[in-house]
Structure 1
């Protein structure tokens, strides 16, 4: 079977949490680290660390990080409060911050859901282009999972 790569992103159907254990994971959250809805609830249940995330005191456009089971888990801070919606610009800034951490820590691959496109209502057509642009000059492989 051919690898399902499209413009620098690999698309797979399945459970994000079944990705290879060495791959980093990423998703979007708010500065308040509430993670009370959507896939964020599953990240909170799977990896905990809410107090560690809050202690990092990251702001919109930053990326908070946990180290879990020999992998990094990235929390893209795309909005101030859980009740708000992110912007494409805040998502892009968070992705750039994540890419910098990846480079500094030799992260080669990241698995993500369709970030920003569930409860946050951004357009995957636009988000995927932003991801492609941010990671174009890197060797970091991004796998996008959907159910």
Structure 2
């Protein structure tokens, strides 16, 4: 079954408990601004994330509340900006982790498009391209 991609208005953290979550972070895992602060406060485990030593273009993850929480590492420091190339690399790693961990429901904000300033139309197409052949439902939450 191919990708089921949809966008809805609502609170990302209201996604059902069997839905894994994802967002973008810097390699330093500072998570001091934007939606990253909500992930930091809700899920913690910063030392675990840092210990994974994920490179730019990779994806760290933790298990919390019986679901995976993915941290797409798209830049070195929190004040840097990602590129479509680093985002694509992180998405591909996350896709592989989803398949490995039997994740079929994934929710995320408009990744890379808030403080990171990427173009949502391009990012949306990229996500759909990367996951096109996968049996996964991806829901994008906007407020």
TM-score range (shorter-chain normalised) is: over 0.9
Any unmatched runs of 5+ in structure 2?
none
Q: Give the superposition deviation at 1:141.
A: 0.9
The one of 73, 76, 84 equivalent to 2:72 is 76
The whole-number CA distance in structure 1 between the counterparts of 2:78 and 2:17 is: 29
Any unmatched runs of 5+ in structure 1?
1-6
Q: Give the superposition deviation at 1:12.
A: 1.1
The size of the alignment, in residue pairs, is: 141
**Secondary structure class of the residue paired with 1:9:** strand
The equivalent of 2:84 in structure 1 is 88
The equivalent of 2:37 in structure 1 is 41
Q: Give the superposition deviation at 1:8.
A: 4.2
Q: Can you list the C-alpha shifts for 1:3-36, whole angstroms capped at 9, x where unaligned?
A: xxxx942111110000001100000000000000
CA RMSD for the aligned pairs? 0.9
The whole-number CA distance in structure 2 between the counterparts of 1:41 and 1:73 is: 14
The equivalent of 1:101 in structure 2 is 97
Is the aligned partner of 1:115 residue 2:111?
A: yes
**Secondary structure class of the residue paired with 1:83:** coil
8 A Cα contact 2:4 2:136, kept in partner: no
Q: Can you list the C-alpha shifts for 1:34-59, whole angstroms capped at 9, x where unaligned?
A: 00000000000000011110000001
**Secondary structure class of the residue paired with 1:133:** helix
**TM-score w.r.t. length of structure 2:** 0.97
**Secondary structure class of the residue paired with 2:40:** helix
The whole-number CA distance in structure 2 between the counterparts of 1:33 and 1:80 is: 9
Q: Can you list the C-alpha shifts for 1:123-146, whole angstroms capped at 9, x where unaligned?
A: 000000100000001011100001
